Structures are given as structure tokens and as C-alpha cells.
Amino acid sequence: MSLELSVVVLAAGMGTRMKSAMPKVMHKVAGKPMVGHVIDTAAHLKAAKTMVVVGPDMPDLIKIVAPHPTFEQTDRLGTAHAVLAAKDGLKGLTGNVLVLYADSPLFTAETLARLVAAREENDHAVAVLGFRPEDPTGYGRLVTDQNGNLTAIVEDKECNDAQRQINFCNSGVMCFKAEDMITTLEAIDNANAKGEYYLTDAVEVAQKNGQSCVAVEVDEAETLGVNSRTQLAVAEAILQGRLREAAMAEGATLVDPASVFFSADTRLGRDVIVEPNVVFGPGVTVGDNVVIKAFSHLESCVVGNGADIGPYARLRPGAKIGAGARVGNFVEIKKAVLEAGAKVNHLSYIGDARVGAKANIGAGTITCNYDGFRKQHTDIGAGAFIGSNSSLVAPVEIGDGAIVGAGSTITGKVEADALTLTRAERIEKKGWAAKFREKMRELTGKK
């Protein structure tokens, strides 16, 4: 493909079968709204313009597709009517206009590029992506002549007996010659079984105008449209499969691929090892030579080269793990930087903090970052050592190389290289325990 490309994304349906307060296309697969996947694919194809047709009263949808322009289809009068809702955005376009459904997030950029190239090749008016399902019921049938040209698309409800036998079906994705598109769509009427303006009638209109159309075949797996939560889960499974394959192809080892869940934007470096049951939420970037051990959960965070994460680690938004740093079991890190080589190995909460290079945070250390009203910062210097079971009450600053004694509650500032500790005075009573037991046995008669 070489001509200009624009994209119209149909997202006007509410999707009643989802039984949701939210428009269907905002539901997420691989951590991203379905409509976002479709917009990303358009971006991949270097679309000059991507327009989204929305239904009435969908302010949240308009927000998530911004800055792409939206057009409201007030009444749902059919797919051609939906595309024409974007008429003002279609005016003056040249080259190709691709129509995509926002509830069909699995079409790859490669497939769509193949469709656009086929349309361009013979300057066809319309190119349609077709597939061959086992059961074609419900789909528009693609009627082709002996030369393979597409002569009509007949909707399921309009089919005669012979047409109903055709198993080459419309996936819904169509590419139009931009210059003729508005004229073609405006010639479509609604004299049919559903009383709708069928986008698919564009093929017949083009034929009447002496123009040609073409169908391109795609694997059925890409064509899945999501109408229910069950289909949402099917789409999720297919996307996860692709993301796992891609991660391995890029040089990550997934010990048990089926148990690792990615987001569409997860980035893994080379020679990363991901153990079973790891979940990557949106916005995670992992460097090279990182090991992510079993049962870890990461979102909106950055993990530096050679870091060691988990098992059972939780990296929350804003966690930045430096090169060679270690985050061990039952450790939660939120909006905090661990500089190179820092270690937080066991049972800790580190939030709104900086942990300096090579600092060692003992088991059970808590940054007390919240007083019920404000979040406060904890700063731990390079090489500091925080004894186990310490509470660092923010705002607090531990100087480079300082040592905090185990079990301390620290407020305020600790000088570099100082020892600080807060601890109740220890008392010891010789023989007290033995005497206590003897007395209790007499009292209770228990051995």
C-alpha cells in the first residue's frame, strides 16, 4: 500500500449482551479497552486520520479515544448510516478509507495492510475481508464471479437458498476508495428485511457504477467480534497467546507460558526469565537479564537490568527498580525508586520513597507514608542498613551509610553513618519462667 490511509472505527453500539453500564468497546482485553487495540492497529498502519463513530451519551468513550475525532450516530440505522455519521471527516480524503469495528480487536496490521494493498492494486471501489466459518449463519455472504471478483454481499436475512450455502463471509472489515466513498454510501437505501442502511450494499452500488470490488481472505481467528463476556474471554485468550509468543520470540523465557498474563504494552528485555503465575498490568517495562519469580504482580513500573523480583512481589504504579536490585517475597513497592543494587528481600512496604544504591532494607520494614490526609516521602541514603521490623514515619530521611537498629520507629532525620535505634529497655528476671510454671501447675493441677 502506498496511498494515504484513513480509518473509521464503528463504536456506536452499547452492547446490551455485555450487561454493563459501560459501552461495550471500553471493556478491556490485555489491559487495554477494545477500541484502543483497534486505534493502535490503525496507528501501526500509519493512518493519517482515525475517526471514531460513537453512540449518544458516551463521554467516557470520547475521552479514551482522544485526541482522535469522534462523530455521534444518534439513531442506529445500520452500518452505512454509522459510517456516514463521520461524513464531515470523510470529505476531501484521498486514497483508502478502512472501516473497522471497535468490538473486533484481533485483526492484525499485516492483514489490514494486505486488504488495503488489494484495493489499491486494481483501483477497486471496495475491498472486503472475508473468512470461511464452519457455520456462516448470521454473516453477510460474499458472492464472487468466476474471475474471483466480488459482485455482491448478501446479508443473512436477504439470502436465497443458494446464497445461504455460501460459506465465504464478510468479516465486517471493508476498505473503500476514498474519493468515491461518500457518493457510494449515499446511494445505499434501506429497502431490506431489517430496514437498515447496509454498508455491504456498497458493493452493489459500485457494480452499478461500473466499478470493481475484491474480497481478500483472512483466518477466522482474527475476525472474532465481542458481544458477550464469554467472547471477551475468548478474545483475551487469543491475545494472551499472541503476547506470550511475541515475548518468547523477543528473547524472554516463559517457564509456563499459559500462566503468564501480559498487557498489550508490556515490554521485556533480552534474557528475561518469567516464572509461572506472573501478571503484568499496563505500563510495565523490564530490562535485560531480569528474573521475575513466581506469583509476582507488576503494573506501571520499570525494572532495571539484572534485577531480581519475587517470588510473590508486588510492584505497584511508580515503582522503579534499579539495575541489579532485589525485591523479595511479600514485598510491596509503590511510587518508589530502588537505586542500583538495593535490596528489599522480605515482607516490606516501601511507598513514596527513595532507597539509595546498595541500601539493605530488613525484613518487615514499613515506610509509614500516609497519615490519613497526606502522602509523605521517605529518603534512604546509599548503603544504609535498616534493621528488621522498623517503621520509618515519613517525612523521614536516613543518611548514606546510616544503620537503623531492628524494631525501631524512626521519625525525622538520621545523619549519614550514624546508628539510630528506638527500643524499650530490656529487663531480665533470672529463674522467673520456671517459678511461674511451677506456680501455675499447683494452681490448675495440669502437668
Positions marked catalytic: 346
Residue nearest to ligand UD1 (CB): 140
By beta-carbon proximity to ligand UD1, the closer residue of 143 and 319 is 143
Say whether residue 342 binds ligand UD1 (CB under 6 A).
Answer: no
In the block, which residue shows the cell 523480583?
309
Task: Choose which of 23, 36, 105, 140 interacts with ligand UD1 (CB under 6 A).
Answer: 140
By beta-carbon proximity to ligand UD1, the closer residue of 198 and 280 is 198
Are 95 and 206 in contact by the 8 Å Cβ rule? The answer is no
Residues 148-187, interacting with ligand UD1 (CB under 6 A): 153, 155, 169-172
Q: What are the E-state strand segments in 83-180?
A: 96-101, 126-131, 141-144, 150-154, 169-177
Question: How big is the site for ligand UD1, counted in residues (CB under 6 A)?
Answer: 25
By beta-carbon proximity to ligand UD1, the closer residue of 199 and 303 is 199
> Per CB under 6 A, which region of 44-52, 181-189, 194-202, 331-339 contacts ligand UD1?
194-202
Say whether residue 77 binds ligand UD1 (CB under 6 A).
Answer: yes
User: What b/e sequence results for 54-67 when a residue is b if at least 16 CB atoms lie within 10 Å of its CB, and e otherwise?
Assistant: bbeebeebeebbee
CA 351 – CA 378 distance, rounded (Å): 8
String of DSSP letters for 21-76: SS-GGGSEETTEEHHHHHHHHHHHTT-SEEEEEE-SS-HHHHHHHTTS-EEE--S-
Strand partners, 54: 11, 72
> Per CB under 6 A, which region of 7-15, 118-126, 250-258, 296-304 contacts ligand UD1?
7-15
> Per CB under 6 A, which region of 70-78, 113-121, 306-314, 397-405 contacts ligand UD1?
70-78
State the sign of the Cα–Cα–Cα–Cα dihedral 254, 269, 47, 67: positive
Residues 14-43, interacting with ligand UD1 (CB under 6 A): none
Smallest gap from residue 155 Cβ to ligand UD1 (A)? 5
Task: Choose which of 8, 9, 10, 398 interacts with ligand UD1 (CB under 6 A).
Answer: 10
Mask 224-263, x = binds ligand UD1 (CB under 6 A)?
-x--------------------------------------
Q: What are the E-state strand segments in 168-238?
A: 169-177, 213-217
The number of angstroms, rounded, from the C-alpha of 363 to the middle of its chain's C-alpha atoms is 33
Task: Choose which of 9, 47, 97, 103 interacts with ligand UD1 (CB under 6 A).
Answer: 103
Say whether residue 383 binds ligand UD1 (CB under 6 A).
Answer: no
C-alpha cell at 131: 473468512
Smallest gap from residue 90 Cβ to ligand UD1 (A)? 15
The number of angstroms, rounded, from the C-alpha of 393 to the middle of its chain's C-alpha atoms is 36
Cis peptide before 311 (omega within 30 of 0): yes
Q: How many CB atoms lie within 10 A of CB 365?
A: 27
- For residue 328, give the 3-state DSSP assignment: strand
Binding site for ligand UD1 (CB under 6 A): 10, 12-13, 53, 73, 76-79, 81-82, 101, 103, 139-140, 153, 155, 169-172, 198-200, 225
